[in-house]
């Protein structure tokens, strides 16, 4: 089963040379700086490289972050942080607020910003894979795993590193709790979509599928509510996606709940459940159109033309017709005026983020290497410091052509 996921753009960043002429006083210190520059450049290249896979990404991130740790961690017990933490200015744009960057002279800002992009890369990798027409079981597992890894990275940044920033996070920016929480919940919900598709494919109990769909719809609703206080200019398109996915999975929940009721000879209630499913599907269809018409950051798509969307429409229609036929021939039950209350709890298949930790300090960082950085040699007038309002060029993300019958583009 193919999937369609909304994706916001990657963060962009200004180049960083790590050239500390005069400050790095030994070949070992200069080598660490060169390695930092090269590994950062390589990691940024991989974000937009279609041939990049999770193993390549992990190797590149482990190298860069292990080197960057020398600018953050203390090598001894004399202080809580590296003396190099505030030596370099870093500049990053925002996934929602265009190309006006935030700048901080703080290596922790670089750590969380680059970490944020790594998490986004995992979501985009999952999206590309999930959009394939004939996705294999192994690929579906990769999608599932990548989304859980992304959720784990976002969660780790929020809990362990963003609180360490000296400059408070600006409201509505990527590193703010509302946005991070929404990204975490969205990753969990999308991973559960893969679980639901697998459960449907293997013809699992309709009660389990209904419960998983209901939990997933609630995840999407929660993510949408988390963004409700943000400026709709930036978050409007993203919220349309979360809203339409919530309605879509409520339609799934009522559809499979109807099948459960029919199996229990409650045909009248089953019909009412399917009618509710039809309502939610129609609402999702209207939101698909609104999503396509809403301007803002994110994927360009026509989700109502996507295979996963059309399949549900046919399933709801056919199941309702079956219930109505059987009620006309066998049950003759009255259809209730009120839709059944969904009090469904999934005991299996719920997704939790994969715990994430940044790598340990690179072996090239020794007390001698750190001592070789002489901060007294820094130029007094730091003219290389970038201007905060200077534009940063966006990353050129590849345009993924839609698969046959998918009706959408996946970024």
Domain harbouring 101, CATH code? 1.25.40.280
> For the whole prediction, is pTM greater than 0.95?
no
Based on the fold, state whether residues 262 and 162 are members of the same structural domain.
no
Cα angle: 237, vertex 242, 246; to 5 degrees: 145
Find out whether 43 and 59 touch, Cβ atoms under 8 Å. Answer: no
The CA distance from 304 to 324, in Å, is 26
d(CA 61, CA 40): 9
For residues 334 and 357, membership in a common domain is answered with no
Residue 204 tokens read as: 């699992």
Residue 390 within any structural domain of the chain:
no
Would you say 64 and 121 are in contact if contact means Cβ atoms under 8 Å apart? no
- The pLDDT score that the predictor gives to residue 326 is 73
Residue ending a domain, among 305, 326, 348, is 348
| 208 and 198 together in one domain | no
Beta partners for 92?
13, 102
Q: Are residues 144 and 219 in the same domain?
A: no
Position 128 scores a pLDDT of 92
Answer yes or no: do 149 and 217 share one domain: no
Per the CB < 8 A criterion, the answer to whether 312 and 251 are in contact is yes
Same domain? For 139 and 24 the reply is yes
Distance, CA of 310 to CA of 406 (rounded, Å): 10
Number of domains in the chain: 2
Q: Do 231 and 102 belong to one domain?
A: no
Determine the structural domain holding residue 106 and report its residue range: 1-203+352-379
Q: What is the pLDDT of residue 390?
A: 58
Question: How much helix, strand and coil, in percent to the nearest 5, is found in the chain?
Answer: 55, 5, 40
Same structural domain, 130 and 212: no
| 227 lies in some domain | yes
C-alpha to C-alpha distance for 405 and 411, rounded to whole angstroms: 17
Helix (H) or strand (E) run with residue 391 in it: none
The pLDDT value given to residue 289: 87
Residue 374 forms part of a structural domain: yes
Q: For residue 16, what are the contacts with CB-CB under 8 A and spacing of at least 6?
A: 36, 37, 40, 88, 90, 110
* 187 and 222 both lie in a single domain: no
Domain assignment present for 269: yes
Q: 244, exposed or middle or buried, with CB in 10 Å at 0-12, 13-18, 19+?
A: buried
Cβ proximity of 10 and 298 under 8 Å: no
Query: How many of the other CB atoms lie within 10 Å of CB of 311?
Result: 14
Residues 362 and 335 in one domain: no
**How many degrees, rounded to 5, is the angle at CA 64 between CA 61 and CA 68?**
130
Say how far apart CA 383 and CA 378 lie, in whole Å: 11
**151 and 61 together in one domain:** yes
401 lies in a domain? no
Give CA torsion, residues 217, 222, 223, 227, to 10 deg: 140
Domain membership flag for residue 389: no
In a domain, 397, yes or no: no
* Shared-domain flag, residues 226 and 156: no
In a domain, 386, yes or no: no
pLDDT at 8: 93
Q: Can you say whether residue 83 is alpha, beta or left, with left for phi > 0 and alpha for psi between -120 and 50 degrees?
A: alpha
The mean pLDDT values, 10 residues at a time, for the chain of 411 residues are 85 94 94 97 96 97 98 82 95 88 95 98 94 86 96 98 93 94 97 92 91 95 95 91 95 92 83 90 90 78 59 74 70 71 71 94 95 88 52 73 37 32
pLDDT reported for residue 304: 54
């Amino acid at each position: 089963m193919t999937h369609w996921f909304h994706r916001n753009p990657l963060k962009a960043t200004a180049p960083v040379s790590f050239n500390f002429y005069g400050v790095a006083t030994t070949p070992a210190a200069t080598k660490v700086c060169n390695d930092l520059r090269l590994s950062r450049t390589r990691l940024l290249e991989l974000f937009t490289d279609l041939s990049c896979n999770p193993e390549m990404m992990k190797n590149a991130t482990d190298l860069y972050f292990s080197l960057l740790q020398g600018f953050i961690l203390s090598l001894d017990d004399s202080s809580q942080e590296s003396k190099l933490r505030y030596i370099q200015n870093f500049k990053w744009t925002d996934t929602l607020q265009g190309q006006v960057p935030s700048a901080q002279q703080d290596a922790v800002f670089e750590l969380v910003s680059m970490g944020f992009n790594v998490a986004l890369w995992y979501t985009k990798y999952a999206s590309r894979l999930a959009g394939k027409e004939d996705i294999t079981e192994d690929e579906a597992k990769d999608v599932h795993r990548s989304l859980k890894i992304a959720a784990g990275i976002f969660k780790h940044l929020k809990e362990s590193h963003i609180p360490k920033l000296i400059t408070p996070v600006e409201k509505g920016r990527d590193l703010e709790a509302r946005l991070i929480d929404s990204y975490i919940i969205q990753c969990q919900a999308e991973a559960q979509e893969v679980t639901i598709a697998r459960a449907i494919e293997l013809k699992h109990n309709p009660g389990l599928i209904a419960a998983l769909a209901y939990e997933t719809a609630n995840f999407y609703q929660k993510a949408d509510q988390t963004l409700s206080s943000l400026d709709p200019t930036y978050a409007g398109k993203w919220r349309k996606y979360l809203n339409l996915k919530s309605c879509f999975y409520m339609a799934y929940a009522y559809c499979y709940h109807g099948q459960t009721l029919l199996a229990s000879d409650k045909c009248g209630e089953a019909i009412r459940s399917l009618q509710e499913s039809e309502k939610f599907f129609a609402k999702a269809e209207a939101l698909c159109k609104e999503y396509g018409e809403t301007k803002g950051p994110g994927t360009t798509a026509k989700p109502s033309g996507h295979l996963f969307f059309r399949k549900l429409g046919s399933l709801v229609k056919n199941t309702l017709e079956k219930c109505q036929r059987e009620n006309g021939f066998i049950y003759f039950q009255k259809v209730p005026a009120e839709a059944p209350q969904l009090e469904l709890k999934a005991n299996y298949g719920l997704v939790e983020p994969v715990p994430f930790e940044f790598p340990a300090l690179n072996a090239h960082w020794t007390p001698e290497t750190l001592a070789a950085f002489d901060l007294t040699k820094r130029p007094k007038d730091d003219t290389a410091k970038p201007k905060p309002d200077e534009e940063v060029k966006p990353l050129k993300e590849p345009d993924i052509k839609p698969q046959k019958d998918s009706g959408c583009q996946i970024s």
